[in-house]
Structure 1
Amino acid sequence: VYGVTHLTAADTILLRGAITESLDPASKTLVDDPRNKPMQPLAWLHTYTAPNGKTGRSFCTTAGASLDFVDEDLRRLIVNAAIELTGGQVPKKADVDFIDPFYPTFFCFINDPAYYKTMNMKPQDFGLGKAPHRPDPPGNPAWPYRPTPQE
């Protein structure tokens, strides 16, 4: 969870995130850790005024790495925010199942400027009915809590 420092008094925090023992989804929150006092905002609503004077509301989150979307609750939060902010009726329980298989990659810092170019991926590789997958970059930790293709 990243430190969020520019919230305003008008912002509405929807969800806070805690630092846990590990990246295991079942790991315990480090309750006595000073970094969790207070827990960092993970999702919030922000009201703004555009240059033309119109006001609006935006949904903000520090989540969004591909691995984050393994979590059904996070997918529902994002979908519900999009429905609400576009004037729709938020359903009691939005269907956020994946349409196609989803194989998220582990987040990391890639220092090789040619890394993505050598993948040679095109927008059409991500179309409906497709499930693109590439191996994790070298040096990533093993993380068995995500779907992977049967290889």
Structure 2
Amino acid sequence: MISKAALFALLAVWGVGTACNVAPVLAEEASSEDQADHSPAKRSFSNRVWVKSDTGDLPGVIRIFLSDGTLVQDSCWETHRLSQWHMTSDTGFTWNEDGVDISAEIVSVSASDLVLSVKLGGEAVEERYMAAAVPYVCPDMPK
């Protein structure tokens, strides 16, 4: 049988009580200066794990655009990378790799697919991603 003290401690940790009622700030309540960071495009593709679907010979490219401005990039054959990223327009964003800014545009986004137009060198390259299935394991790589 659970003692009253243990039950009270669990409820306090879980935030069930009158002293812990703090409501989170909603995106709609943000100042006008922060509105670009809460754009519908950013909300629609950030905080999701995207796996590149047009990989060719190198499968397992993963990008995660976290809403705090961190881009997590990983693949089945390279070490992961953390970069800063930010929205530059309603559908445009930029991240930095090794001191070089890379610009991209969201061509389309849905619950299951993301298509980006990434500016590499002087040309735009289309990259296609799909929402990662859980669990996900890198495929066996030929040695």
Normalised by the shorter chain, which TM-score bucket?
under 0.3
Q: TM-score, normalised by structure 1?
A: 0.24
Give the structure with the larger strand fraction.
2
Q: Which has the larger radius of gyration?
A: 2
